[in-house]
Amino acid sequence: MPLRFTLRQLEYFVAVGESGSILQASEKVHVSSPTISTAISQLEQEFGLSLFVRKHAKGLSLTEAGSQMLTQAKKLLSEAEQLNDIAGDITQVVRGSLSIGCYLSFAQLIFPSLRRSFQTMYPEVRVNQFELHQNDIFHYIRGAKIDIALSYNLDIPADLEFLPLVELPPYVLVHEGHPLAHLPAVTVSHLQDYAMVLLDLPHSNVYFTSFFSQVGVKPVIAERTQDMAVMRSLVANGFGYSIANLRPLHNLSPDGRKLCYIPLECDLPNLVMGLVMAGGTRNSFTVQAFVEHCMHTITESNVPGMNMHSLASSPG
């Protein structure tokens, strides 16, 4: 008996099953909500099963049958994607789905441009992007939710591979009226009595405070945030200085105030931006194409979205 459902319908079903919402599924797979609703109805008619319980206020929840079908549908889609990967490897055509993670703090600066240039070069690749904390990156790679991730060399587990791309030295970020704004470089001794705005992300927060613990002092942490843009605006409005390894192309905070970037002189090694992946991942032709694109695009003199030439210069 011929199949009367398509892989696309299964993709829409999985998206709704995982999100519990047709609207959220629509945003994830980039098709209209009516299209997804129609696909779900067609699947239910074909299978003779109710896949979801409709809850007007709370969205949709899977029925017991729907839960079992979701597990099998995900397996089918995974196997279909593997066929696509095999075909790409045999023909040496970069194609299929590629799930990429990106460390949360620099996703806004680097990843959109990097993804755009990669997909322009390889239009047959369908990219799924995930902005993640470092621990989530490890978890997603181990669970095969993502193929590869762009991140820092912070506490990389022994079972994962890290491919370094570029070193990023630290700098101190202050508003233009800060007493340190005129200095060409600063040390921890310059900072220890001033209020600090800590970019309080897992792993990163340990790195930023290690500048102080290394010399036996404690920073005066006045504010904490996990959002890079919020941190920059807090600094620009006089709530304290911050430390980061990323400098945007312009010197304005999100609310339009001027910022100054001053190199931080210290004995700690620079952070390294690179690619995190499981062993053997680069055997995929599509993954290898992304690795090579990153190696070509992200260099010591150029990182998309960043002002690399000013990281070691005077504030401005």
pLDDT digit of tens for each residue in the chain (316 aa)?
456 778 788 888 888 898 888 888 888 887 788 888 888 888 888 888 899 888 766 678 889 998 999 999 888 887 777 776 665 565 566 788 899 999 988 888 899 999 999 999 999 898 999 999 999 999 999 888 899 999 999 999 999 999 999 999 999 999 999 999 999 999 999 999 999 999 998 888 999 999 999 889 999 999 999 999 999 999 999 999 999 998 888 899 999 999 999 999 988 889 999 999 988 776 778 889 999 999 999 998 888 888 876 544 433 3
How many whole angstroms from its chain centre is CA 80? Answer: 26
Buried b (16+ CB within 10 A) or exposed e, 227-266: bbeebbbbbbeebbbbbbbbbbeebebeeebebbbbbbeb
Residue-level length of the chain: 316
pLDDT (0 to 100) of residue 316: 37
Global confidence as pTM: 0.70
What domains lie within the chain, and their CATH numbers? Answer: 7-88 (1.10.10.10), 93-167+271-310 (3.40.190.10), 170-263 (3.40.190.10)
pLDDT (0 to 100) of residue 2: 53
pLDDT (0 to 100) of residue 58: 65
pLDDT (0 to 100) of residue 268: 86
Q: Look-up: residue for tokens 């600063």?
A: 186
pLDDT (0 to 100) of residue 240: 97
pLDDT (0 to 100) of residue 313: 44
pLDDT (0 to 100) of residue 279: 82
**Cβ distance 285 to 94 under 8 Å?**
yes
